[in-house]
Structures are given as structure tokens and as C-alpha cells.
């Protein structure tokens, strides 16, 4: 079995997400100096020499149980986001598998939005992208606008919004629905203090309504505040998995910092 | 007990697994609103930048038609097909629909990787949305075409109604082609470079600005081959329905229908097969 045995009590809970020996690999063409030196004599057709396989996630396994609120930590480029996208089924997996009782949702809707169109139209589009029906999103529009605080600007094209306004709208759209398994990746609570408070409250609410939450963050304070379990991914490998305080302390030791925030 | 068995025992399903085709199509149908809204909004967004906005949808093909008419009308001279302007405009408008469906369909997945990597939906909706976009652009062009026909022919016949099933078949055909080119482009981006070339060849060969019967009449084998050319079949049937002096043949209707449903079935199956692989960074 993949999970580390913590206690007998943990294993009597229902598993909701099982990650089994997951490998995520990116094949990219290297074009930096190192690669071209090896290329000497290769000529026009030597595509293969330039090809590098980046193993972003290496044989990661763990089991998440009902009610877990899991923090994912690790340095930049450690493979956290790749792993989360693999869990959400959005990135193909090179090896192993992810099993879940419901489709995990990655919280984020920016990719579907069109800057040339008004905020209101983008709410409709973003909502439909998330899986709302037209009726559901129409019912939620006023609340979303209010949450984002954009009543005056909602009929203006999004390309005229400041980055803060756009981020608030994106979050408001993404957070308007509850999910069974939720993956929150990093800095989503942006904007001024007032909006920050509202969005953190909303995220807490979503966590309460979701069965299971993954929170990927660099803020150890948020992790310690909200997570029941922490997984540390470093260079694609699962380094540590267990009690929040223990793992965070070990991570801080590794990076040479204290938990401030 | 393997992990997979353990997962199954607790009712967990493999995430990202490609659903069986019937379920996939059902999911796509349930999310159709998203695709439709994407198409409508993408057109609005594209038009918002131009001063003339949505009028370009009609203006551009009209200018194209006029330019081709002038140039080819002069070059071919006396050998012009009868009723040249209606003949030409029918071909130009319908061909541009097929051509742009294939071109935008080809990049529908590769230029939307952000969408694919952050949201869950049947990826088939992307080429579908591309083709729908082009179809929405085609409708006002058909309107303009009918106006041109009335101006030149002063005659409206019941045959015009046959355009409805014909356009439906064309849309199905375009969708099938878009699905195939979308997946091919995902695997080999270079295909994107060849598509404009293929489009040009089809344009010159399919009798859009000349009469195939007159040019290929002396070469029975070429004529036979041309009867299987889907672009020729669609445009010829449309001319038969709309333009005075041209007739339709059941044969060509059969060719249209076969190509339409053939492309659809092959396209859907081909695209669905690789559903798990879209979004991979290669």
C-alpha cells in the first residue's frame, strides 16, 4: 500500500484520493549552450540530440482520507504544481495512476476568460467553463459581482481592468461553487486587505464544504493554520508526509528560515 | 492487493481516464453551452477590435469574391461559366467556411493549452467551438449570397430550401475534418504548415472559379475523380440548388452525405482515442 502508516485510526477512514507511483515527465527541446555543443556534427535533422526529458514528478505515492486538509509544500520547481495538475487529471501521467471518488477540481478559471469582453460576459463564460449550467451561473452573477466588488466596472472589457481587479474577478468566479475535492494552488487571495479577508473567509468556507482540500502554498502560516496533514515535495520526490508541525519544521530547517508571516 | 484493486474496492475511479465513447459524447452534449458561448464570444471579441466590427464578416468574402471575379473573369474571358457572379460567390463563400474550419480546427487544441491544462471538459468541444464560430460567420454570408442571387436572377425557387440540409452536411463534414486536423496538429505541429497549402490546392482544383465540366470534360478519368472531391460535390450541389442554369444530381448528394458522415465518424473516433493525451507538454 502506498500510504505511510500513521496510526490504525487513520486507516479506518475512507480513502478519497490514492496517488500511486505517479510520474510526470516533460519532453522538451533544449536550446541552451550545453545542448548545442553536443550537437556538433548533428546537422539539421538531429532532433533527438536536443530532446531532454524532465522528470517533474518521480514515483510519488500517498493516500488521502476523508476530511483531510492537505498542505503541499516544497521549493520552487519542486513539482508541486505538476503533481496537482496530475491529480486533477489535467496533465497526462507518464506512469502510475491517481484514483479518486470524484474529479478533483483545480481552482482557477483565468484560461477561459477573454480580455476583450466585459466582466459580465466573462462571468458567464468562466462559469460555464467550470461546469455550471447557464441557469446556475445566471443565478450567481450578482453575488459574484458583489464579491469581487466590481459593480461599477462590470460592463467594461476586462483588458481595461487593473491586474488586481482581474484577479479578484477570477477568484470570485472560481470560488462561487463548492467542490468535492478541491485543489487550491498558491496565491489566490490577492488584492487589498479588505478583499483578502473576504477571500480567505470564502476559502475557509469552501474548505468546510469540500470533503477534501489540497492547499499548495509557500506561506507556512496558512499551512499551519488550516492543514491537518502536510506533504513535502522536493525535486519531484516525496520527501516527507505527516503531521503539519513536524514537516514544516523540517522544511524550515532545510531552507534555513523561520516560520514568520 | 494492488493499489488499483484497493482503490476500486473503495469506489475510487482513475482520474483522467478516457471515458467510453458513449459517455464521452454525453458529457460533450451536456457541456454544449460552454462551447456555444465560447464561439459566440470569440467572434464578438475578434470583432471588437475592428472599426467595422462584424461587418467584416460579410465584407471580406465579398471583396475576395469581387477580386477573384475580376481577375478570373478577365483571364478566362469567354470561357466563363454562365451566371458568373452567382456561380463564383457561392463557391467562394462555401469554400471559405470549409477552409477556415480546418485551419482554426487544427490549432483549436494546441493554441488553447491553458484551457486544457486548467479546466476539465471533453476536449472535443474545442474543435467543435472552432467550427461553430466559422458557421456563425457563414450565416450572414449566405444572407448576402441570397441577396446577390435575387439581384442577378430575380428568381427565388423552392430549391433554395435544400440549402438547409446541405449546410448541415457541410457543417458535419467540416467538424469531422477539424477533429482530425486538431489531433494531428497536437502530435505533429508541422501539419499546421501544410494545411494552407492543401487549402490552396483544393481551391484551385475544385471548380470554384471555373467550370469543371468545361476544363476537365476531355479527361473522363479526371472527371470521375472530381466527382469524389467533397469540396466540388458540396459546391456543385449548392450551385445546383441556388444558381440558375445549374442542376443537382443525386449522385453528388450521395457523395456529400458520405463524406460528411464518414468524416464525422472517423473524426470523432480518432479524436476521442487520444483524449487522455491532450495537454501533454512535448
Three-class HEC string of chain B: CCHHHHHHHCCCEECCCCCCHHHHHHHHHHCHHHHHHHHHHHHHHHHHCCCCHHHHHHHHHHHHHHHHHHHHHHHHHHHCCCCHHHHHHHHHHHHHHHHHHHHHHHCCCHHHHHHHHHCCCCCCHHHHHHHHHHHHHHHHHHHHHHHHHHHHHCCCCHHHHHHHHHHHHHHHHHHHHHHHHHHHHHHCCCHHHHHHHHHHHHHHHCCCCCCHHHHHCCCHHHHHHHCCCHHHHHHHHHHHHHCCCCCCCHHHHHHHHHHHHHHHHHHHHHHHHCHHHCCCCC
Element (H, E) at A43: none
pLDDT at A140 (0 to 100): 92
C-alpha cell at B202: 483544393
The answer to whether A114 contacts B280, with C-beta atoms less than 8 Å apart, is: no
B47 burial level (CB within 10 Å; 0-12, 13-18, 19+): middle
For B212, phi then psi, to 5°, come to: -60, -35
Closest Cα of chain B to A97: distance in Å?
7
Are A145 and A211 contacting, i.e. CB atoms less than 8 angstroms apart? no
The answer to whether B7 contacts A99, with C-beta atoms less than 8 Å apart, is: yes
Element (H, E) at A45: none
Query: What is d(CA B253, CA B115) in angstroms, rounded to the nearest whole number?
Result: 38
Are B184 and B191 contacting, i.e. CB atoms less than 8 angstroms apart? yes
> SS3 of A35, please?
helix
**Which of the residues B12, B188, B282 would you substitute to probe the A interface, choosing the one with the greatest number of A C-beta atoms within 10 Å?**
B12
Element (H, E) at A237: strand A237-242
Are A188 and A171 contacting, i.e. CB atoms less than 8 angstroms apart? yes
Element (H, E) at A103: none
- Would you give the DSSP letter of residue A56? E
C-alpha cell at A18: 490514492
Q: Which band of pLDDT confidence, cut at 50, 70 and 90, is reported for residue B42?
A: very high
Report the complex ipTM.
0.85
pLDDT at B258 (0 to 100): 96
The answer to whether A18 contacts B11, with C-beta atoms less than 8 Å apart, is: no
Indicate the residue of A2, A103, A125 with minimum beta-carbon distance to B120: A103
Are A243 and A230 contacting, i.e. CB atoms less than 8 angstroms apart? yes
Lowest model confidence (mean pLDDT) among A45-54, B49-58, B252-261, B272-281: A45-54
The answer to whether B118 contacts A121, with C-beta atoms less than 8 Å apart, is: no
pLDDT of B255 above 90? yes
The answer to whether A92 contacts B280, with C-beta atoms less than 8 Å apart, is: yes
Residues of B with Cβ-Cβ distance to A111 under 8 angstroms = 112, 114-115, 117-119
Average of per-residue pLDDT values in chain B: 89
Per-residue pLDDT of chain A (261 residues; tens, 9 = 90+): 444 444 444 467 788 899 988 998 887 777 654 444 444 445 555 555 677 888 888 999 999 988 788 999 998 888 888 899 889 888 888 888 899 988 888 887 788 899 999 999 999 999 999 889 999 999 999 999 999 989 999 999 999 999 888 888 988 888 888 888 888 876 555 667 787 778 778 877 877 777 788 888 888 888 888 888 999 999 999 999 999 999 999 998 888 866 554
* Contact B12/A at CB under 8 A: yes
C-alpha cell at B181: 486536423
Q: Which residues contact A259 (CB under 8 A, 6 or more apart)?
A: A220, A221, A224, A248, A252
Residues of A with Cβ-Cβ distance to B44 under 8 angstroms = 116-117, 121
Residues of B with Cβ-Cβ distance to A20 under 8 angstroms = 3-4, 7
Indicate the residue of B3, B31, B117 with minimum beta-carbon distance to A91: B117
Q: How long is chain A?
A: 261
pLDDT at A39 (0 to 100): 46
Q: How far apart are the first and last CA of chain B?
A: 34
> Could you tell me which residue, B119 or A34, shows the higher pLDDT?
B119
Cβ contacts below 8 Å, chain A against chain B, sum to 127
β-bridge mates for residue A17, sequence order = A64, A100
The answer to whether B6 contacts A18, with C-beta atoms less than 8 Å apart, is: yes
Which residue, A91, A84, A125, A180, is CA-closest to B114? Answer: A91
Indicate the residue of B14, B34, B38 with minimum beta-carbon distance to A99: B14
The answer to whether B10 contacts A14, with C-beta atoms less than 8 Å apart, is: yes
Which residue, A226, A212, A221, A245, is CA-closest to A17? Answer: A212
pLDDT of B101 above 70? yes
Pure H helices in chain A: 8-11, 33-38, 80-87, 119-130, 134-148, 163-174, 193-209, 220-226, 244-255
Amino acid at each position: 500500500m502506498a500510504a505511510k502508516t500513521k496510526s490504525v485510526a487513520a486507516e479506518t477512514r475512507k480513502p478519497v484520493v490514492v496517488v500511486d507511483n505517479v510520474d510526470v515527465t516533460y519532453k522538451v527541446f533544449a536550446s541552451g549552450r550545453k545542448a548545442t555543443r553536443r550537437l556538433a556534427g548533428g546537422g539539421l535533422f538531429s532532433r533527438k540530440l536536443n530532446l531532454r526529458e524532465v522528470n517533474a514528478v518521480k514515483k510519488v505515492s500517498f493516500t488521502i482520507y476523508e476530511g483531510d486538509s492537505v498542505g503541499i509544500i516544497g521549493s520552487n520547481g519542486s513539482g508541486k504544481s505538476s503533481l496537482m495538475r496530475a491529480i486533477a487529471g489535467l496533465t497526462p501521467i507518464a506512469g502510475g495512476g491517481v484514483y479518486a471518488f470524484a474529479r478533483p477540481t483545480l481552482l482557477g478559471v483565468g484560461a477561459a476568460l477573454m480580455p476583450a469582453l466585459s466582466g459580465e460576459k466573462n462571468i458567464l463564460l468562466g462559469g460555464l467553463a467550470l461546469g455550471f449550467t447557464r441557469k446556475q451561473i445566471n443565478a450567481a452573477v450578482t453575488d459574484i459581482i458583489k464579491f469581487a466588488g466590481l459593480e461599477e466596472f462590470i460592463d467594461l472589457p476586462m483588458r481595461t481592468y487593473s491586474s488586481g481587479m482581474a484577479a479578484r474577478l477570477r477568484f470570485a468566479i472560481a470560488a462561487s461553487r463548492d467542490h468535492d475535492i478541491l485543489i487550491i494552488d498558491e496565491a489566490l487571495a490577492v488584492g487589498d486587505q479588505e478583499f483578502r479577508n473576504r477571500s480567505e473567509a470564502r476559502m475557509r468556507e469552501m474548505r468546510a464544504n469540500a470533503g477534501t482540500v489540497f492547499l499548495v502554498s509557500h506561506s507556512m502560516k496558512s499551512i499551519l493554520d488550516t492543514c491537518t496533514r502536510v506533504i513535502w515535495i522536493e525535486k519531484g520526490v516525496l520527501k516527507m508526509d505527516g503531521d503539519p508541525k513536524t514537516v514544516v519544521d523540517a522544511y524550515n530547517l532545510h531552507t534555513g528560515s523561520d516560520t514568520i508571516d | 492487493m494492488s493499489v488499483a484493486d484497493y482503490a476500486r474496492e473503495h469506489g475510487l475511479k482513475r482520474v483522467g481516464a478516457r471515458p467510453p465513447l458513449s459517455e464521452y459524447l454525453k458529457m460533450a452534449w451536456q457541456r454544449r453551452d460552454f462551447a456555444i458561448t465560447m464561439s459566440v464570444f470569440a467572434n464578438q471579441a475578434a470583432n471588437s477590435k475592428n472599426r467595422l466590427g462584424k461587418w467584416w464578416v460579410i465584407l471580406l468574402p465579398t471583396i475576395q469574391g469581387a477580386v477573384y471575379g475580376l481577375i478570373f473573369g478577365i483571364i478566362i474571358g469567354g470561357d466563363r461559366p454562365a451566371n458568373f457572379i452567382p456561380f463564383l460567390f457561392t463557391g467562394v463563400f462555401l469554400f471559405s467556411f470549409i477552409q477556415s474550419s480546418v485551419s482554426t480546427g487544427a490549432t483549436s487544441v494546441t493554441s488553447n493549452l491553458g484551457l486544457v491544462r486548467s479546466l476539465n471538459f471533453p476536449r472535443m468541444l474545442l474543435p467543435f467551438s472552432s467550427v461553430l464560430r466559422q458557421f456563425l460567420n457563414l450565416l450572414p454570408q449566405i444572407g448576402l449570397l441570397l441577396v446577390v442571387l435575387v439581384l442577378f436572377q430575380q428568381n427565388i425557387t423552392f430549391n433554395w430550401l435544400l440549402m438547409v440540409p446541405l449546410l448541415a452536411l457541410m457543417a458535419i463534414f467540416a467538424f469531422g475534418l477539424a477533429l482530425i486536423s486538431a489531433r494531428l496538429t497536437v502530435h505533429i505541429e508541422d501539419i499546421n504548415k501544410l494545411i494552407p497549402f492543401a487549402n490552396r490546392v483544393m481551391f484551385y482544383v475544385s471548380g470554384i472559379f471555373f467550370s469543371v465540366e468545361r476544363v476537365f470534360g476531355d479527361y473522363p478519368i479526371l472527371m470521375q475523380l472530381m466527382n469524389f472531391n467533397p469540396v466540388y460535390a458540396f459546391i456543385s450541389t449548392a450551385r445546383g440548388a441556388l444558381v440558375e442554369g445549374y442542376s443537382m444530381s443525386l449522385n453528388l448528394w450521395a457523395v456529400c452525405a458520405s463524406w460528411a458522415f464518414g468524416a464525422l465518424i472517423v473524426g470523432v473516433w480518432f479524436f476521442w482515442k487520444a483524449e487522455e493525451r491532450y495537454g501533454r507538454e512535448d
